[in-house]
Structure 1
C-alpha cells in the first residue's frame, strides 16, 4: 500500500512506479489531473530514480518521493521528498517544489511541515535539514513557517534544521 500523508489542504502521495512512468511519458494517469507546469524538473528526476531502482530489481523506498495534491480539487501541484536516506548521524535532507503559480499561499510550508513530521516517524531520523539559495526569501520563509531553524549560510546557500 502506498504511503499517503494528509494535511488540512494537501495530500502527499508516494510516487510509485506507475506514477513515475506517467511522469516520464508526460501524460497523467487516468483520473489524475496535473496543474499547469507539472511535472516539474524535480519530479522527472525523482521518477527516473524510481524506475532505475525498479530496473535494478531493488525495492523502491516509497518514503523518498511524494506528489503534492490539493485536497479541494485533487490535482498534482508539486513534489517533495527526502533527498537521501539518513546519514550516519541520523540526518536527512528534504526537497520540495510547487508549480510557480501557487507560490505564496502557504502551501509550501504546509507540505514541508508534513514532510518533516513524516521524516521523524522513521526510527533512523533524528534531524531534518534543508538548504535553499540565500536570496530565495520565499523558500526561506516557507521553511521558517514549517518550524525549521536557520543554522547558517554561506555565499550560496542558507541552511535550516528541525
Structure 2
C-alpha cells in the first residue's frame, strides 16, 4: 500500500515510517529536510519522543503502512512539524479504532488538534470495517476534552485518571425515511 498523506485546510498529515521514527528517536532530525520539512527547535518535543517507541511498535506489526498508524502533523505554510496524531493500530474485531493527537505548546489554542483529528476521522470513516472511533484523555485535560466534544464524540466512561470517548461512523447509521 502506498503511503497516504491526509490533507486538511492548514495541515498535511504525513505518516511516520520506521526509518523516520528510528532516526528521530536516535536524536537525528536531519531526515526531516529529506521529506521537504523545515527543522524547528520545538519538535520533536518530549511528548513526541515519549511516543516514538509506541509508534515503532505499531509500525513493526504491519508489513506496509496501513494508514492506521501515526502521522506527523505538518503546518502547510511553514512545512514544520507541529505535532503528531494518529491511530493506535488497526480496527479491532468490533470495528473500533483509537485516535490520539498532540500539538506542540507553541502551536496550541489555534485549532490544529481539532483539524488534525477531524482529518483522521474523515479518512477513517471512509475505510471499510471502521464503525467507531474511540479516544481517551486525562481527566484534567480540559483542552483535549473540548476538542473531543467539538468532534462530536460522546463521553462513555471515566476512571480516576481517564475519560473514554467514542464516535460512531455516521455512514453506518440507519437512515430514517420520511
TM-score between both structures, scaled by the size of structure 1: 0.86
CA contact (8 A) 1:97 1:108 kept: yes
Task: Please identify the structure whose Cα radius of gyration is greater.
Answer: 2
Please identify, of 132-141 and 147-156, the stretch whose mean Cα deviation from structure 2 is larger: 147-156
CA distance in 2, matches of 1:103, 1:129: 22
On the 8 A contact 2:98/2:133 being kept in 1, the answer is: yes
Of residues 98, 101, 108 in structure 2, which corresponds to 1:96? 101
> 2: distance between equivalents of 1:135 and 1:50?
27
In the TM superposition, residue 50 of structure 1 has moved relative to its aligned partner by 5.9
Q: Structure 2: how far apart are the matches of 1:65 and 1:92? A: 12
1:60 alignment counterpart: 64
RMSD: 1.9
What SS does the corresponding residue of 2:99 show, helix, strand or coil? strand
**What are the residue-to-residue correspondences of 1:98-117 with 2, within 5 Å?**
98-117=103-122
Deviates more, 1:14-23 or 1:62-71: 14-23
* Counterpart residue number, 1:23: 24
Ranges in structure 1 where 5+ consecutive residues have no aligned partner: none
- State how many pairs are aligned: 158
Q: Deviations over 1:38-86 (max 9, x none)?
A: 2212542245326645xxxx51334111111000110111111111221
Task: Using structure 2 for the length normalisation, give the TM-score.
Answer: 0.79
Mind listing any 5+ residue stretches in structure 2 that lack a counterpart? 168-178
SS of equivalent residue, structure 2 residue 128? coil
